[in-house]
Chains A and B, each alone.
Chain A
Amino acid sequence: MNKPLKHPTALSRRQVMIGAAGLSFAFALPGRAGASALAAARSGKALSPWVSIASDGTIMIMSAATEMGQGSMTSLPLVLAEELDADWSKVKIVTAPAVEAIYGNPGFQGMMYTAGSNAVTSYYGPLRIFGAQVRRVLLDNAAKTLGVPVDELTTEPSLVVHSKSGRRLSYGEIAATAEVPAKAPEIKPDQLKKAKDFRLITKDVMRVELPGKVNGTARYSIDLHVPNMLYGTVLRAPVEGSVPDKIDEAKAKAIAGVVRIVRLPYGVGTLAETPWAAFEARRALTQSVTWTRTGTAWGFDSDKGIERFAADAKNPARMSTEWSRIGDPRAQMPKAASTLEAEYRCDYAYHAQMEPLNAIASVSPAGDAVEIWAGTQSQTTATEAPAKILGISKDKVKLHDMLMGGGFGRRGNRDVDFIIDAVLMSKEAGRPVKVMWTREDDFANGRFRPISAHALKAGFDPSGKLSTWQHRIAVDRVGAYMDPVRYQAAGGKDFIAMLGADLKGYDVPHQLVEQLYRDTGVRTNPLRGISFIANRFATESFVDEIARKRGIDPVAYHLDLLKGTPRAIKVVERVVQMAEWGKKREGRALGFAYLDYSGSQVAGIAEISLNRTNGEIKVHNFWCTIDCGVAVQPDNVVAQQESSIVYGLGVALTEVITIKNGAVEQSNFYDYHVPRMKDVPAMHIEVIQTDNHPTGAGQMATPLVAPAIAGAVAELTGVRLRHTPFTPDRVKKALG
């Protein structure tokens, strides 16, 4: 567990320490506090380094990203261990404390935040350099001890070797007496290991937390028991922005084991000695609380809302803001020799991480400190928000970041609703409290992938070439709601709603993407695949539609548009081979989609059949290729694509959240259908290793699924599906 940090701000740029356990190092990532590389100092204090080496050879490496099943807890330390040439069996991984100056993610302005499939991408470079620096210090010390020039020394895992004399020193032996230089050794890029010398990267080591996940010992926050702990539940308003009005506590309080009913700023809490009493009390409260009619979502119905969005997206008189532009689309579109228009829609979707949200908090009796156990995608927000609500400084918040039973974007919102529950309840109780949401709470208080309506228009030159592209999106805001701080920092740009709306990599000279900002008042969050799911459904479907309208094979059409993007062509050509695109199949058809997702090149092909009587689509096979540069853990990249495809399948076919009068209508897995084993196609994934800088792998295939299926349905029936999910009713209606 994390060591409490008394004065994290006292950590200066001078962050190489001799710790109690031996040689310890820390470094600051570039771009902050002027600390561009390893700076050195001596200190007897054990502070919080990235790595320390004990004299018995144990190497402790800090894990800065949180673990929700994506594997970062292994892959980040692995990168450091590679350059350090550490014996992986001697490595112990420890979750890093919430100290942004050291552990912050360079991809998120130094926030500690695990999202956007960005952990390996952002930390890869710094962790390699740092591993190499530590190795270099060990080599220098060994040279001194052995009395030989340092360039006669090499390393093997956790050993320095002098091959001339056959002498060897273990890292543990060296660490015991090592001197740390005043200034960190400089490592030039060409001094880093060559890919051919990798012992860990690309070699598929066992993820460190897996053994505990097959015998029940892996610990999620919901599993913990803190001495003297109470159980809590929270009943929230059905509509965002409403607060409790009248509370009739009598029934809930009468339940044996119930300690107190608590009025919270946004809901009503129950505190009880046992979990069953807390849940019973919550049930009893549902009929006994009335709510103020505050908040914007009252009166909002999502089925009418999406109609309005669609009408607005189509109507050029409706105000929009420019999201991105290439060339001169406004001037060019009217000059087009011919045009084509289409509309697409997407519904709200729910994360459904398997672990219902929960947290444990223990507020000190004086209310001046708090200890928190939670699974979070951001150690920063998980410490800042509680500090703010308690009116204490962030260093008084001690966070134990636990394994997450799934994240998918649900656990990164700035206000960390599920942690604040526990903090406020513990403050009220004067005891530690574990607050657990029921699955019904998790639905009702869900923060959804937003609804969106897409109006697309393509302009062609006289030769028929696609020359101008316009994509207008009316979409419920996400960034402004889920993280106002980052939203402001991004200049008021809603990346979480808009990314993926352009045609990255495609040869289309004039492009315009416009946003129609909408705020229905419904709670929203990024969801796995983020806005790429909706926006690529629209754009890839439209490209497919254009190709078919012009009588061109959709893959051939894609390849032509992608001709300036060789990495894209490679993933497309390979997936086409794997699926035997072009081969006729009895009663089945194929559909294709491609995506550049934050640099990762992904292509997918779905093979489907369709029951015309009941409207059910069956996906039989899904082929997928991915080039994410150096795949640090290739089998895990495969696993993540399998996982992303299954996730995409649900959002494409069955998963829909509807809002009635501002409230969520679904409540559990009987009225919200996530994929089960029977629904899942055979998945064929190929990782194309390249020596490009690693890019994301955790959600890349999700956005491919809906457009690939829609393309396959068009191939099979000639009918275009325009509204995800493609529920049987919608499919039947589309078929006429």
Chain B
Amino acid sequence: MATSFTVNGKAATTDAPPATPLLWVIREGLKLTGTKFGCGTGLCGACMVHIDGKRAYSCQTQVSEIAGKSVTTIEGLSPDSSHPLQKAWLAEHVPQCGYCQSGQIMSAADLLKQKPKPTRDEIVEHMNTNICRCGTYQRIVRAVERAARES
């Protein structure tokens, strides 16, 4: 029983069982490995993608929920790293190990879509979903502010 949906604008299907987390379909089925596995329990945000334009934990989204939906992953955020957040992330030298950063950027992109000029408190509130064990939080805040300023 195949499930059809779109990923980064392209049609995709999977025959994974309905209860399979979308995360594994994206990573191992479609081989879009920018989206990361961190906890599998909706606690770290490493797996963050957009579904129909809003952020979602792909580890908490089952295949049964995505039929006909449109999924965007970090690979689809921009074709050439030109999203203002990606540019700001580099300008502020945000990543360390980098493992959490796709999820961070996808979360931040969702914020800027809702609120192009967030306050610092709004940034912290929104981004609290995403763990960075390398502790890049201070630079993430700076990068989101920069992206908001420069876009």
Flag if B128 contacts A216 (CB, 8 Å).
no
Smallest beta-carbon distance B34→chain A, Å? 2
Beta-carbon contacts under 8 Å, A390-420 to B: 403-408
CB-defined A-B contacts under 8 Å, sample of 25: A69-B98, A210-B98, A214-B89, A214-B95, A216-B32, A216-B75, A217-B34, A219-B33, A223-B27, A225-B28, A276-B16, A276-B17, A353-B133, A354-B38, A356-B38, A404-B97, A406-B134, A408-B133, A642-B135, A642-B136, A643-B134, A668-B39, A678-B124, A680-B135, A680-B137
Closest 5 CB pairs of A and B: A216-B34, A646-B135, A405-B99, A213-B98, A69-B97
Q: Mark A residues whose CB is within 8 Å of B.
A: 68-71, 206-207, 209-220, 222-223, 225, 231, 256, 274-276, 352-356, 403-408, 436, 438-439, 635-636, 639-640, 642-647, 668-670, 674-678, 680, 682-683
Given A276-B20, A353-B133, do A213 and B95 touch, yes or no (CB 8 Å)?
yes
Smallest beta-carbon distance A633→chain B, Å? 9
Smallest beta-carbon distance B46→chain A, Å? 6
Once the chains are docked, how many angstroms separate the CA of A675 from the CA of B125?
Answer: 14
Flag if A274 contacts B28 (CB, 8 Å).
yes
Smallest beta-carbon distance A64→chain B, Å? 19
What residues on A are CB-neighbors of B98 within 8 Å?
A: 69, 209-210, 212-213, 218, 403, 405
Beta-carbon contacts under 8 Å, B31-45 to A: 31-41, 43-44
Flag if B35 contacts A646 (CB, 8 Å).
no
The interface size of chain B toward A, counting residues with CB under 8 Å, comes to 57
Interface SS, B side: loop
B24 located at the interface, meaning its Cβ lies under 8 Å from any Cβ of chain A in the complex: yes
Flag if B97 contacts A355 (CB, 8 Å).
yes
Residue of A at shortest CB range from B74? A216
Q: Besides A669-B41, A676-B130, A678-B124, 13 other CB < 8 A contacts? A: A69-B98, A212-B98, A214-B95, A214-B101, A214-B105, A216-B32, A217-B75, A405-B99, A406-B97, A639-B136, A642-B136, A646-B134, A678-B125
Beta-carbon contacts under 8 Å, B1-52 to A: 16-17, 20-21, 24, 27-28, 31-41, 43-44, 46
Given A355-B99, A404-B97, do A677 and B140 touch, yes or no (CB 8 Å)?
yes
Given A354-B99, A682-B138, do A216 and B33 touch, yes or no (CB 8 Å)?
yes
What residues on B are CB-neighbors of A275 within 8 Å?
A: 24, 27-28
Residue of A at shortest CB range from B20? A276
Q: Which of A217, A355, A644, A677 has the most CB of B within 10 A?
A: A677
**Would you give the 0/1 interface string for B64-96, flagging 1 where the beta carbon is closer than 8 Å to chain A?**
000000000111011001000010011001111
Given A215-B74, A668-B39, A675-B135, do A210 and B97 touch, yes or no (CB 8 Å)?
no
Partner of A354, one of B32, B44, B75, B137: B44
